[in-house]
Amino acid sequence: MEEMDIINILENLVDEEFKKFKWHLKNEKVDDIEPIHVHVLSRAEREEVVDLMVQKYQLSGAVGVMTNVLKKISRNDLVTKISKMESGPAAGPCRVPPGVPACRNTAEDKLKTVRSQFIDRVSVPVVYKLLDHLLDGGMINEGEMEVIGGTGNRADKARAVIDTVRRKGPAASSVLISALREVDPCLSKELNLM
């Protein structure tokens, strides 16, 4: 299974089921790996939840966790679908031969792709709102917020936000994408981050 397969499974959940899925997910501990923090999950959309699960549990662990949670919310039809996908033939655009790097579409990759456009288009008020969301989500600390806020002009602030977040990994990248969707849906749509 690939990340897109997991996203496709989650697309089958109606909003109320997805809320329950996230509620159960905050309690899923695998071996010594702690669950995903509730404040990170609270605003996360389906793609971001997948990024968070893969970052936390790796791909195979994420599939196992998703299966457990789907059982808890009585979506055994999707559990069956996962089983068939895992045992079925390899197919799809992201399947690659051994030794060739797998294609990815993580939140980090999405931000890397739109970095220049983000820097060119984001406004200062939106940058400050994004910083607030990142601070609230525990993705940056107050010192980082002050440094970025005190950075030169608009483009420098935007550059500092996106580069700081990308360096922090998929969870921070997912929070930034989610925050941008909320704060500036027009820009988010222009950057294909919806």
Q: Which residues contact 136 (CB under 8 A, 6 or more apart)?
A: 39
Question: Within a domain: residue 95?
Answer: no
Q: What is the mean pLDDT of residues 91-100?
A: 43
Question: Within a domain: residue 97?
Answer: no
119-161 pLDDT per residue, tens: 999 999 999 999 998 988 888 889 889 998 888 899 999 999 9
| 81 and 112 both lie in a single domain | no
| 175 and 122 both lie in a single domain | yes
Q: Alpha helix (H) ranges present in 29-169?
A: 38-41, 46-72, 76-87, 107-121, 124-136, 142-149, 154-167
The H-or-E segment that residue 24 falls in is: helix 15-25
> Exposed/middle/buried for 27, CB within 10 Å: 0-12, 13-18, 19+?
exposed
| 56 vs 146 pLDDT, higher one | 146
| 8 and 78 both lie in a single domain | yes
Question: Within a domain: residue 102?
Answer: no
| pLDDT more than 70, % of the chain | 88
What's the CA dihedral at 10, 66, 39, 130 to 10 degrees? -40
Question: Within a domain: residue 53?
Answer: yes
Q: What predicted TM-score, i.e. pTM, was given to this entire model?
A: 0.49
- CATH number of the structural domain spanning residue 149: 1.10.533.10
How far is the C-alpha of 110 from the C-alpha of 15, rounded, in Å?
24
| 53 and 7 both lie in a single domain | yes
| 168 vs 100 pLDDT, higher one | 168
What's the CA dihedral at 147, 176, 166, 42 to 10 degrees? 110
| 12 and 58 both lie in a single domain | yes
User: Number of structural domains, the chain?
Assistant: 2
How far is the C-alpha of 51 from the C-alpha of 71, rounded, in Å?
21
Q: Look at residue 111 and tell me whether its pLDDT is greater than 80.
A: yes
Question: Within a domain: residue 11?
Answer: yes
| 78 and 135 both lie in a single domain | no
| 21 and 56 both lie in a single domain | yes
> Which residues span the domain enclosing 66?
3-86
| 114 and 184 both lie in a single domain | yes
| 70 and 145 both lie in a single domain | no
